[in-house]
Amino acid sequence: MSPSPSTNATVESLLELSGVAKRFGGVVALNGVSFDLRPGEVHALVGENGAGKSTLIKILCGIIQRDAGTITLGGASYDPHTPGDAKMAGIQVVHQEFNLLPYLSVAENICFEDLPRRRFGIVDRPALYQRARKALDAIGLEDVDVRRPVASLGVAHRQLVEIARALMGESRILILDEPTATLTARETKRLFAIIAALKAKGVAIAFVSHHLNEVFAICDRVTVLRNGRSVMTSDISATTPDQLVSNMVGRQLAAAMAATREVDKSGRTALSLRNLRHPSSTNESGVSFDLHYGEMLGIAGLVGSGRTELLRSIFAADLPISGSLDRDGKKVSYQSPKDAIRDGIGFVTEDRKEEGLILEMPIAANVTLANLKAVSRHGLLRKRDETKLTQQLGNDIKLKYGHPQDNASTLSGGNQQKVVLAKWLANNPRILLLDEPTRGVDVGAKAEIYALLRVLADKGLALLVVSSELPELITLCDRMLVMSNHRITGELQRQDFSEERILNFAYKDERSHEYQ
Amino acid sequence: MSTNDVSQTGQTRIATTTKTVLREAGIGIALIVLIVVFSTTTQHFLTASNVTNILTQVTINLILSIGMTFVILIGGIDLSVGSVLAFCAVVAGTVMTLPGLDPITAVILATLSAVAGGILFGLLNGFISACWAIPSFIVTLGTLNIARGAALQVTNASTIYSFPAAFNAFGSQTLYGIPLLFLIALVLVVAGWFVLTKTVFGRVLYGIGNNEEAARLAGHNVFFYKIAAFTICGAAVGIGAIVYMARLNIASPIIGIGFELNAIAAVIIGGTSLSGGRGSIVGTLLGACIIGVLANGLILLGLSDFMRQMITGFVIIIAVILDKYRERLTKA
């Protein structure tokens, strides 16, 4: 895309990136990112999960180092090696994951980088509380006691404390990574007011968000990242949400999204949940629905609405505390994932690195992990069978790999996810539970995974798909359930799918709980 | 991007294979270097009698290290092996010296009871740490004391000796200069290698050590495997106890102090990662040999026991630092 005909092109850039690249093993995270940040502007960074936003932020704040490209800050080369370097240079970051110390007080957290002290290094408590009070008041958190431990605060308040901490220092550049993800509407409004005030002071703000309405509400310019590259930079006034989305997903995926599928409506019921309740669920009546063979059923909802927990309780990764589960019309009570697997269920987990893959073991070992019986006899492994099975499945799912004995960590994100799928396919499942099946996957692989899932559904498998990307669910699913606060707040048939309807259901309970 | 991917993984494959070979080869080279250094700097190092001597010294640590490898592979640690060895030895010693048993029955029963004692403590270690999710460091710190106390209690702190003559003789037999006891250890090495590389059981152990949650969600009973790893370690300790008795012809409640540390050192020098999931029995064999050769060679060089201890300490630290570099290489 061509750079925008900017209205304030005369303003000198504070931070300038050009051709920044970073790779982790075989995975290319960034592959040529260029953009600039001007004093007093709010610059949105948008892109799908895995587009490289987080990696970019980590490079800017010195957590990791770039492999190639140049970054200049105020005209001088900027090359932070530690987060301390970044702070010294006046760059503050509010991370998506919390970096708070849960058992210390709010005040200690806010002032942690520079605790006020008296002689002999003793912490000056009155000064500490005073400073923290001021910082919280500045962002309108008058009602929070600074002596409370952070662990006792709700998620939204923690996020605000984090922001207050970042605002403590006199920063020239503030990077906000998904700051509104856990905020309610009222707190979001408050945050936007703070951002406006900072902007007026001449601070350059990089704003990472999935919510395009926020981007259009408060940002001056926007840069779109796709697949590790910056594909477009534009003034907000010169672009539209549609243009941003099509740049985010790219042509390849747009085609995959357009593909449709004949749905076999006659599918028998594969799984039937009745009041199934996960231990962490606040909803006493649990969750009830039916899943049919040949169907792709989507579950939408905000993060924390209990979608992952629902899948985990079906799979007995966590044992449900009440309710029942019927499999092919027969009541079942799985005591461990082993039981669920034996009953033809597979579970592609949300977190590939923590739960899905064994990164430092060979691809072949990962593929056969859930069905070692198929490649062994009397407890002895038959490596030739294992290699054969891996190659065969690898072929079926278009896995790009070097050798079955290479470690899974050598693969790109998309191919790693395919290995997770292969692991379950090796078991010939009848039901597949998929939690964020394309998280951190590049666009090409995403399209291939969509095609693969469609083939599986056509073959008669029952697929239950959880995803935070609405376009993904809208593209893939035949039917959709929307969850909020561990309950199902809505059900939509394919012809009724729209982002607006889904979000309305997703926020249903949020709204009533917002001001508690 | 896709062509890029393929060539990239192609390169890493070659690199990965080389690196896996290098891992064990590196330890082997270190051992050879040590042997070369000691045989050129001392007169007696490479004599037949000294080699026999080294192998004898390596034997018990090697047996304990094999068991320890299983535990460390699943991300655990067993601090109790030295004490459990003493416990197994005094139980076996008591059984062996029971009046009215013919020598062969006595030795067989003693061996079985030593192994049973080891298995008992292994089960206890594994069960407690798996059931309540307590770090095995703490659990085995507890059983370390329990086993030592039990050994002292059973014997009233006295030493047991006067075992059957044939048993004592067996302990000093050699075959072409190789001690029979070392051959027992070698058999265990082969068995351990086989289990870890050729069986489903071994594969799952590696899986659990690397990523416990992924293994659990793939349908494996993590609880069972953890207990099994500690039990195997316990059984190895039982065998180690019998071998100890055969070699020194005594069973005493105060033997085996600090043995756990030597076993852990051998496993670590052998390239097994303390965080689990990575390592091999062959590495452990080489690690145990390095410790044995180092101890023997430094004595021949005329260094004091204190110096020897210091140098062994440095070697352990250097081995772990080198391992960090190897890790970084495989990840880059």
B276: CB partners within 8 A, 6+ apart: B72, B73, B74, B75, B76, B208, B209, B210
User: What percent of chain B lies above the pLDDT cut of 70?
Assistant: 91
* Cβ neighbours of A357 in B, within 8 Å: 211, 214
B328 has a pLDDT exceeding 80: no
User: Chain-centre distance of CA B289, in angstroms?
Assistant: 11
Q: Could you report the per-residue pLDDT of B259-269, keeping only the tens digit for each?
A: 999 999 999 99
Give the pLDDT of residue A301: 87
Output DSSP code: residue A373: G
Sorting pLDDT into bands at 50, 70 and 90, what band is B1?
very low
User: What percent of chain A lies above the pLDDT cut of 70?
Assistant: 91
Q: Where are the alpha helices (DSSP H) in chain B?
A: 2-41, 48-73, 81-96, 103-131, 136-155, 165-170, 180-198, 200-210, 212-217, 222-248, 259-269, 281-300, 305-331
**pLDDT, average across residues A361-386:** 94
B94 closest CA partner among B140, B9, B158: B158
- Write down how long chain A is: 516
ipTM greater than 0.90: no
Is B330 in Cβ contact with A365 (below 8 Å)? no
Cβ–Cβ under 8 Å, residues B270 and B284: yes
Shortest distance, CA B197 to any CA of chain A (angstroms): 9
B310: CB partners within 8 A, 6+ apart: none
B151 has a pLDDT exceeding 90: yes
Sorting pLDDT into bands at 50, 70 and 90, what band is B13?
very low
**pLDDT, average across residues A334-339:** 95
B257: CB partners within 8 A, 6+ apart: B82, B83, B86
Sorting pLDDT into bands at 50, 70 and 90, what band is A50?
low
A208 has a pLDDT exceeding 70: yes
State which amino acid sits at residue A127. Answer: A
Burial of A201 (0-12, 13-18, 19+ CB in 10 A): exposed
The Cα A96–Cα A474 span in angstroms is 26
A340 has a pLDDT exceeding 80: yes
**pLDDT, average across residues A144-153:** 87
Give the pLDDT of residue A294: 92
Among A264-268, A278-282, A481-485, B204-208, the range of highest mean pLDDT = B204-208
Phi, psi of B223 (to 5 degrees): -55, -50
Strand order in the sheet with A91-94: A91-94, A173-177, A204-208, A42-46, A221-226, A229-235
Give the pLDDT of residue A264: 64
Provide the CB-side half-sphere exposure for B150 (13 A, CA). Answer: 20
Q: Is A444 on the interface with B (CB under 8 A)?
A: yes
Q: Is A337 on the interface with B (CB under 8 A)?
A: yes
Beta-bridge partners for A381: A376
Give the pLDDT of residue B12: 44
CA-based nearest residue in chain A for residue B197: A381
Cβ–Cβ under 8 Å, residues B187 and B194: no
Sorting pLDDT into bands at 50, 70 and 90, what band is A6?
very low
User: Chain-centre distance of CA A227, in angstroms?
Assistant: 15
3-state SS, A152-194, equals HCCHHHHHHHHHHHHHHCCCCEEEEECCCCCCCHHHHHHHHHH
SS3 call for A56: helix
Interface test with B, best of A27, A65, A229, A406 (most B CBs within 10 A): A406
A25 has a pLDDT exceeding 80: no
Give the pLDDT of residue A515: 35
Sorting pLDDT into bands at 50, 70 and 90, what band is A9?
very low
Element (H, E) at A24: strand A15-24
Q: Could you report the per-residue pLDDT of A162-201, keeping only the tens digit for each?
A: 888 888 777 889 999 888 777 777 778 888 888 898 899 8
Q: Is A445 on the interface with B (CB under 8 A)?
A: no
Angle B222-248/B81-96 helices, nearest 10 degrees? 60
The Cα B247–Cα B171 span in angstroms is 5
Neighbours of B115 (CB within 10 A): 21
* Greater pLDDT, A100 or B247: B247
* Cβ neighbours of A420 in B, within 8 Å: none
How much is the mean pLDDT over chain B? 90
Give the pLDDT of residue A119: 81
User: What percent of chain A lies above the pLDDT cut of 90?
Assistant: 45
SS3 call for A229: strand
**pLDDT, average across residues A309-324:** 95
Output DSSP code: residue A407: B
Output DSSP code: residue A352: I
CA-based nearest residue in chain B for residue A382: B198
Output DSSP code: residue A513: H
* Greater pLDDT, A161 or B216: B216
The Cα B119–Cα A103 span in angstroms is 41
Q: Dihedral angle at the C-alpha atoms of B114, B120, B121, B126, nearest 10 degrees?
A: 140
B331 has a pLDDT exceeding 70: no
B134 has a pLDDT exceeding 80: yes
Q: Is A394 on the interface with B (CB under 8 A)?
A: no
Q: Is A220 on the interface with B (CB under 8 A)?
A: no
Is B210 in Cβ contact with A25 (below 8 Å)? no
* Cβ neighbours of A227 in B, within 8 Å: 1
B325 has a pLDDT exceeding 80: no
Sorting pLDDT into bands at 50, 70 and 90, what band is B9?
very low
Shortest distance, CA B196 to any CA of chain A (angstroms): 10
Cβ–Cβ under 8 Å, residues A131 and A167: no
Q: How far is CA B93 from CA A434, B90, B306, in A?
A: 58, 5, 32
**pLDDT, average across residues B305-323:** 86
Q: Which long-range contacts (CB under 8 A, 24 or more apart) does B172-178 make?
A: B172/B247, B174/B52, B177/B48, B177/B51, B177/B52, B178/B52, B178/B55
Give the pLDDT of residue A109: 87
The Cα A481–Cα A28 span in angstroms is 34
Interface test with A, best of B17, B21, B195, B211 (most A CBs within 10 A): B211
Q: Are strands A269-277 and A204-208 parallel, antiparallel or unpaired?
A: unpaired
B114 closest CA partner among B140, B147, B68: B147
Tell me which residues of chain B have a C-beta less than 8 Å from any C-beta of chain A.
1-2, 4-6, 8-10, 12-13, 16-17, 198-201, 203-204, 206-207, 210-211, 213-221, 277-278, 330-332
Which of A393-397, B147-151, B239-243 has the weakest average pLDDT? A393-397
A513 has a pLDDT exceeding 70: no
The phi-psi region of residue B77 (left if phi > 0; otherwise alpha if psi is between -120 and 50; otherwise beta) is beta
Structure-token match 């009953």, residue found: A343
B2 has a pLDDT exceeding 50: no
Encoding tokens for residue B1? 């991007």
**pLDDT, average across residues B172-199:** 95
The Cα A224–Cα A313 span in angstroms is 37
Sorting pLDDT into bands at 50, 70 and 90, what band is A226?
confident
* Greater pLDDT, A306 or A260: A306
How much is the mean pLDDT over chain A? 86
Give the pLDDT of residue B117: 97
The Cα A501–Cα A119 span in angstroms is 61
Report pTM.
Answer: 0.79
Give the pLDDT of residue B305: 85
Give the pLDDT of residue B74: 96
A509 has a pLDDT exceeding 80: no
Interface test with B, best of A349, A360, A377 (most B CBs within 10 A): A360
A211 has a pLDDT exceeding 80: no
Encoding tokens for residue B65? 């290290």
User: Chain-centre distance of CA B110, in angstroms?
Assistant: 22
B258 closest CA partner among B211, B212, B193, B312: B312
Q: Could you report the per-residue pLDDT of A433-447, keeping only the tens digit for each?
A: 999 998 877 777 888
Is A401 in Cβ contact with B9 (below 8 Å)? yes
**pLDDT, average across residues B32-59:** 93
* Cβ neighbours of B196 in A, within 8 Å: none
Is A411 in Cβ contact with B9 (below 8 Å)? yes
Give the pLDDT of residue A492: 93
